[in-house]
């Protein structure tokens, strides 16, 4: 397979032009010029309230409606009403939990993991205040994976929801969401997936996964600080609204969006599908294939490149006996994304990134709000892990640069 044209790719991101190496992409990726231009174009030319009859309001309305359509297409949702944009994954999940709890009765059960970011744990944990039992599905200590036989032991006839992550923002391991979802559905419960650490690297196909709820944030997918919640229409119709009392239960998904959407950011998100469309043309030529198929080809190209980046760093780390990789050791793109964490036998995690900073490379350490995982692994005293998180615009030269610095440091 052809390699991605990194010169072309990197030109789309102004922040990449001055040679700084961004290796904290799981914290937030760089933003496409295209997205930033769309924000300013919206604000400077069509910044009015939607829903009025005058020309500019109608134009703004068409922009936002087209954005919702494109976002639905991006994740293969069958209907744009299934996509609720909102300020952050954390906020969207809190909104969802506020609505979902109204469908539960005391004694009902919800299951969360101990390897998620707190965004997909806390809102569900809080349901205990309403008499809901919350159980914890613990990751297996040996292979750091979620096992369905452990889940089986937790599920009962009262289990209503299992909330888990597609990829841990620390471990990088891809969980088999489709299989786990089928397993949960067979036992009569719904799933809520945090796709934040997955979405920058692979195509999300909500219909193929058959998930009930799926959420991620575009500031990690080359766009601005804005997020989307996917909710399957049949559930959305039944979920009680959390918006003003006069917003109808049939008003999908507005009943779950108090404060409405941010228009300029919703519009700006379309810069991401635009970019993928351009990447497709640049690598495979012009043709009339459906956008989802084109995106799939682009993700395939980019993930092969990401696998090489991950391989370079993992091989280097595996060769140092004082380093322990926390997560999947293989670079294979079917099992992991290039979000790589490690600890050092003798050096605290907090002492490593500051020594890399002066070389013009940004990495970081900590628990990354997956605090329960870090505590479970006993890594609190280390200051958490050191994390190097790469995306497709990173280069093998950048990885080599980091490895050279690490070889003196670790
Ligand atoms: C895996 C994961 N889930 C959820 C979040 C929270 O996303 P947001 O900042 O949009 O609330 C993050 C942020 O780092 C994350 O890495």
Residue in 113, 118, 119 to alter for ligand 1 test, most ligand atoms within 8 A of Cβ: 119
Cα-to-centroid distance, 383 and ligand 1 (Å): 19
> Would you call 81 exposed, middle or buried from its count of C-beta atoms within 10 A (0-12, 13-18, 19+)?
middle
- Tell me the C-alpha distance between 34 and 49, whole Å: 23
Closest residue by Cα to atom 16, ligand 1, is 169
Closest residue by Cα to atom 14, ligand 1, is 27
- How confident is the prediction along the chain (410 residues), in pLDDT tens digits per residue? 579 999 999 999 999 999 999 999 999 999 999 999 999 999 999 999 899 999 999 999 999 999 999 999 999 999 999 999 999 999 999 999 999 999 999 999 999 999 999 999 999 999 999 999 999 999 999 999 999 999 999 999 999 999 999 999 999 999 999 999 999 999 999 999 999 999 999 999 999 999 999 999 999 999 999 999 999 999 999 999 999 999 999 999 999 999 989 999 999 999 999 999 999 999 999 989 999 999 999 999 999 999 999 999 999 999 999 999 999 999 999 999 999 999 999 999 999 999 999 999 999 999 999 999 999 999 999 999 999 999 999 999 999 999 999 999 99
Backbone angles phi, psi at 121, to 5 degrees: -120, -55
Does the beta carbon of 168 sit less than 6 angstroms from any atom of ligand 1? no
Cα-to-centroid distance, 45 and ligand 1 (Å): 32
- Tell me the C-alpha distance between 72 and 64, whole Å: 12
**What residue ranges in 195-270 does DSSP mark as E strands?**
213-217, 227-231
CB 218 within 8 A of CB 146: no
Residue in 172, 196, 218 to alter for ligand 1 test, most ligand atoms within 8 A of Cβ: 196
Q: Domains in the chain, start-ordered, CATH in brackets?
A: 6-32+291-409 (3.90.1150.10), 36-272 (3.40.640.10)
Tokens of 364: 């970081």
Cα-to-centroid distance, 60 and ligand 1 (Å): 29
Classified as helix, coil or strand, 133 is strand
User: Which residues pair with residue 215 across a beta bridge?
Assistant: 194, 229
How many other β-carbons are positioned within 10 Å of the β-carbon of residue 404? 12
Q: How do beta strands 83-86 and 227-231 pair? A: antiparallel
**What residue ranges in 197-338 does DSSP mark as E strands?**
213-217, 227-231, 323-325
Q: pTM value?
A: 0.98
- Tell me the C-alpha distance between 65 and 51, whole Å: 11
Residue in 89, 114, 265 to alter for ligand 1 test, most ligand atoms within 8 A of Cβ: 89
- Tell me the C-alpha distance between 341 and 111, whole Å: 26
Classified as helix, coil or strand, 84 is strand
- Sheet with 213-217: strands ordered across: 83-86, 227-231, 213-217, 190-194, 159-165, 109-113, 133-137
């Amino acid at each position: 397979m052809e390699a991605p044209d990194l010169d072309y790719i990197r030109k789309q991101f102004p922040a990449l032009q001055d040679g700084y190496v961004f290796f904290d992409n799981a914290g937030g990726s760089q933003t496409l010029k295209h997205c930033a231009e769309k924000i300013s174009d919206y604000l400077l030319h069509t910044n009015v309230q939607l829903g009025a009859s005058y020309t500019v309001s109608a134009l703004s309305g068409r922009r936002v409606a087209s954005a919702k359509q494109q976002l639905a297409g991006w994740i293969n949702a069958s209907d744009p009403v299934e996509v609720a944009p909102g300020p952050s994954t954390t906020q969207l999940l809190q909104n969802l939990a506020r609505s979902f709890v109204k469908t539960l009765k005391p004694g009902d059960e919800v299951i969360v993991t101990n390897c998620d970011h707190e965004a997909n744990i806390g809102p569900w944990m809080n349901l205990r205040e309403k008499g809901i039992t919350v159980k914890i599905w613990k990751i297996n200590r040996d292979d750091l994976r979620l096992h369905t036989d452990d889940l089986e032991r937790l599920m009962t006839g009262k289990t209503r929801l299992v909330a888990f992550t597609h990829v841990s923002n620390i471990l990088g391991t891809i969980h088999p969401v489709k299989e786990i979802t089928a397993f949960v559905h067979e036992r009569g419960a719904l799933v809520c997936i945090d796709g934040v650490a997955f979405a920058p690297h692979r195509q999300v196909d909500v219909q193929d996964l058959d998930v009930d709820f799926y959420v991620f944030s575009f500031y990690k997918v080359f766009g601005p600080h804005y997020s989307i919640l996917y909710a399957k229409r049949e559930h959305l119709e039944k979920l009680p609204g959390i918006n003003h009392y006069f917003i109808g239960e049939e008003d999908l998904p507005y009943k779950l969006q108090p404060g409405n959407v941010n228009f300029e950011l919703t519009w700006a998100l379309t810069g991401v599908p635009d970019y993928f469309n351009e990447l497709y043309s640049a690598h495979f030529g012009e043709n009339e294939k459906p956008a989802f198929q084109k995106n799939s080809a682009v993700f395939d190209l980019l993930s092969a490149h990401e696998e090489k980046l991950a391989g370079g760093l993992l091989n280097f780390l595996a060769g140092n006996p004082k380093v322990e990789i926390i997560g999947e050791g293989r670079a294979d793109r079917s099992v992991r994304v290039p979000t790589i964490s490690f600890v050092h036998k003798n050096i605290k995690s907090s002492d490593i990134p500051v020594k890399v900073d002066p070389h013009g490379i940004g990495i970081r350490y900590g628990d990354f709000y997956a605090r329960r995982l870090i505590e479970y692994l006993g890594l609190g005293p280390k200051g958490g892990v050191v994390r190097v998180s790469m995306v497709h615009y990173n280069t093998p030269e950048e990885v080599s640069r980091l490895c050279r610095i690490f070889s003196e440091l670790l």
